[in-house]
Structure 1
Amino acid sequence: MTPVPATGPGSPVLDIRGLSVAYGTGDDAVQAIDAIDLTLHRGEVLGLAGESGSGKSTLAYGATRLLPPPGVITGGQVLYHPSSGGSMDLLTMSDRQLRAFRWQETSIVFQGAMNSLNPVSRISEQLTDVIRAHRPATGAQEQRARAADLLRLVGIADDRLDSYPHQLSGGMRQRVMIAMALALDPDVVIMDEPTTALDVVMQRQILARLRDLRDRFDFAVVFITHDLSLLVEFSDRIAIMYGGRLVEDAAAHELYRSPRHPYTHGLLNSFPALRGERRELTGIPGSPPDLKALPSGCVLHPRCAHAMQLCTRHRPKLTTPAGDEASGRHVACWLHHPQAATPEHLARTAPPAAARFDHRAPTLQSGR
């Protein structure tokens, strides 16, 4: 155990350092995650966004050692800092330590609740199984009472305890998974696209419920999705991934108002504003890169309208652009090199007077 300077609100709770993941071994190995550095703070909602295949889920499953074969962690550290002080590396834990750690300290809401819940077991059995495995001293009545409390927390009446998964709607099944993730009061909850298969109304209800639960219990959240508009509404900070690499990391409102990376700008311009004048959606030309044959230099340069000769030869490092020191933003792009001519729409500018961002309500407003 090594000392940690701070364990209060805003201090690091999960620190990913140089994490690399490959699928396969030898010459046929595909590098899916390449030396990712990312820090999650206590009580923070960290959004992880990018196109399909960018490495979002691989990063989460690699950090928690849940990668299915042939996934292999090839380097890095994943340091967990408990509130009691000290730190522990998840990648060096024994199987016994890891079993005790999961659900107790870090839990996961998997993508696709119907596939995650056992279809032949009642909801009560699945909720109490988590409690029984980690807190065997609790009695059966206490376990059932806790399961009922968990359902009420996520807005489901406790008379559904003895229902089977197929007797619940998609939104209710997803909320059962959230309840299960909160059963042991973990410090970190990882959510892998928890609202993808739900309609817009149900998405908003679940996000509002999650925001309320986070405020009440102060757990940190890693929220994975390809829908950047959801993250702008729900997250405190957003990390953008492309080709297995981190390309931008910034506060949600800063990233929405003034993206620095061309890829982030393209993602934000791929969905329409709910208000204001109509504008043409530009999107991002081309297709995501083939991980077996990544382009040299910056992996985005074949799709980037601002690519320079430097971009084709050298990989940019994740650094803080000039003027962003106070915000803590990080960007991996040669356009922010001191000698580069940064395009106006990617340079630091004051947010438009008509643009407003409100974290208190799940609505995105823009006068653009």
Structure 2
Amino acid sequence: MTDVEAAPVLLPTPRRREPVLEIRNLNVDYGLGENAVHAVREVHLTLHRGEVLGLAGESGSGKSTLAYGATRLLPPPGVIAGGQVVYHPRDGEPYDVLALSPRELRAFRWAETSIVFQGAMNSLNPVHKISQQLTDVIRAHTPGLSRAALTARARELLSLVGIAADRLDAYPHQLSGGMRQRVMIGMALALEPQVVIMDEPTTALDVVMQRQILRQLVGLRERLGFSVLFITHDLSLLVEFADRIAIMYGGRIVEEAPSAALYRDSLHPYSHGLLNSFPALRGEKRELTGIPGSPPDLRAMPRGCSFHPRCPKAFEPCGTHLPPLGPPPEAPDAATRTVACWLHPTTAPVG
């Protein structure tokens, strides 16, 4: 775990609040009909240009399903049950990614939005050299480039992520876990996309390598200006380097706030539980409270707020009525955050 009580080492730069990707009322199911599992429910989320947006929650909360649904990478039996994913290109009018034709979708992926998967060893082809895998991505979208130009771009990408160019001829098994993950980041940046989605890219790495990769990621963001949707179950990582953090539980967003505000004063009991589930490396010792119980079964969700069976602050309306996501009226920073909790009822729900 990282030390969130120490001074942050990865300082995000304030950005204009210009949207680059808007997820509007997205619903994702697994299966069809009455037996469908509702994995993502009525999610509204906006990624702004040049920012790092963290998406946190326990395993099974719907984080990866949300990302794969928004990029139309859902494997069967996953289906988009409703909603829009509006992309704002550098030039031209916004458009709905979910309405793209197969040909348009192929052009959209990697060039406009790319994704870094959790397991780099599983994402890289073990029988092909790193050079071939990097150049294949570039060749697919810019077929007119010469072999020399492709190789030069591959070298440039490795240099960009801090890997010596002589590792181009290496196979994935000849690289360390951190190097493989950096190769995946370089591949994701090959066509200079506006949005990079990172699905728990540091989970299998040690703490030192996590921090190295995150430092490098923030530096690349500053240089190239892309936006990042960073998915993780480790909230302590996001506190240090994300501009904003959205908390997901039971397929819904339950709180969203600037990272410093969330760490300083989380409003939802689930967010508070996540923040108190990892130890501090400095300062006074504190007892870890964690979160009792288990995440809900998506096939049989509880009535009302899905967190209420585990919530230490649950009261009468929590078990019968679903709290809307909206700005907390009593918070001084209500304009920059939202929460779905009856402890902070809102009269202006999102969407």
| Shared fold, TM over 0.5 | yes
Q: CA deviation at 1:324?
A: 3.9
| Residue in structure 1 matched with residue 131 of structure 2 by the alignment | 124
1:72 maps to amino acid: V
Quick check: 324-333 or 228-237, which moved more? 324-333
Question: In 1, distance between residues paired with 2:89 and 2:39?
Answer: 29
What is the aligned counterpart of 1:336 among 307, 328, 344? 344
Q: Cα distance, 1:327 vs. partner?
A: 4.6
**Aligned equivalent of 2:94, options 87, 101, 104:** 87
Residue 76 of structure 1 is matched in structure 2 by 83
Q: Say whether the 8 Å CA contact 2:37–2:298 is kept in structure 1.
A: yes
Residue 100 (structure 2) pairs with residue 112 (structure 1): no
The separation in 1 between residues aligned to 2:162 and 2:16, in whole angstroms, is 27
Whether the 8 Å CA contact 2:326–2:346 is kept in 1: the answer is no
Note the residue ranges of structure 1 that are not aligned, 5 or more in a row: 1-7, 340-368
Q: Deviations over 1:105-162 (max 9, x none)?
A: 0000011000000000110000000110001111110011000000001000000001
Does 1:37 find its partner at 2:41? Answer: no
SS of the residue aligned with 2:136? helix
Q: CA deviation at 1:276?
A: 1.4
Q: Deviations over 1:332-351 (max 9, x none)?
A: 00001279xxxxxxxxxxxx
For the pair 1:23 / 2:37, whether they are aligned, the reply is no
Asked if structure 1 preserves the Cα contact closer than 8 Å seen for 2:198 and 2:230, the reply is yes
SS in 2 for 1:247: strand
CA displacement 1:83-105 (0-9 Å, x = unmatched): 21410101000000000000000
Matched AA of 1:160: R
Cα contact 1:251–1:327 (8 A) shared by 2: no
Report the Cα distance in structure 1 between the residues aligned to 2:119 and 2:270, rounded to whole angstroms: 28
Give 3-state SS (helix, strand or coil) of 1:336's partner: coil
Contact 1:10/1:43, CA 8 A, preserved across alignment: no
Post-superposition Cα deviations, 1:340-367, rounded to whole Å, max 9, x if no partner, equal xxxxxxxxxxxxxxxxxxxxxxxxxxxx
Cα offsets for 1:229-266 (capped at 9, x unmatched) = 00101200000000001000000000001100000000
Distance across 2 between alignment mates of 1:324 and 1:190: 31
Q: Tell me if 1:166 matches 2:173.
A: yes
Shift of residue 227, structure 1, vs aligned partner = 0.3
C-alpha contact 1:250 1:327 (8 A) present in aligned 2 = no
Q: Distance in 1 between matches of 2:34 and 2:346?
A: 38
**Structure 2, gaps ≥5 residues long:** 1-14
**What aligned pairs does 1:254-293 form with structure 2 within 5 A after superposition?**
254-293=261-300
Letter in 1 for 2:293: G
Moved runs in structure 1, 4+ residues, more than 6 A? none
Considering Cα pairs closer than 8 Å and 6+ residues apart, tell me whether 1 or 2 has the greater RCO: 2
SS in 1 for 2:22: strand
Q: Given that residues 324 and 346 in structure 2 are in contact (C-alpha distance below 8 angstroms), is that contact kept between their aligned partners in structure 1?
A: no
Distance across 2 between alignment mates of 1:303 and 1:160: 49
Give the structure 1 partner of residue 201 of structure 2: 194
RMSD between aligned residues? 1.2
Report the counterpart of residue 144 of structure 2 in structure 1. Answer: 137
Q: CA deviation at 1:35?
A: 0.6
Question: Does the aligned pair in 2 maintain the 1:14–1:80 contact within 8 Å?
Answer: yes
Q: Tell me the secondary structure at the aligned position of residue 291 of structure 1.
A: coil
SS at match of 1:150: helix
CA distance in structure 1 between the partners assigned to 2:335 and 2:120 by the alignment: 36
Corresponding position of 1:364: none
What's 1:301 paired with? Answer: 308
Deviations 1:36-92 (A, max 9, x none): 000000000000000000000000000000000000100000000012141010100
Distance 2:332 2:185 in 1: 35
The residue aligned with 2:12 is: none
For residues 262-293 of structure 1, give each alpha carbon's deviation from its aligned partner in whole angstroms, at most 9, with x where no partner exists. Answer: 00000001111222111111111111000000
Secondary structure, in 3 states, of the residue corresponding to 2:214? helix
2:343 is paired with a residue of what secondary structure? Answer: helix
CA apart distance, 1:323:
2.6
Deviation at 1:9, TM superposition (A): 4.0
Counterparts of 1:43 and 1:27 in 2: how far apart (Å)?
41
Match of 1:177 among 172, 176, 184: 184
Shift of 1:326: 5.4
**Amino acid paired to 1:83:** R
Distance 1:323 1:52 in 2: 29
- TM-score (structure 2 length as normaliser): 0.93
Q: How many residues align?
A: 332
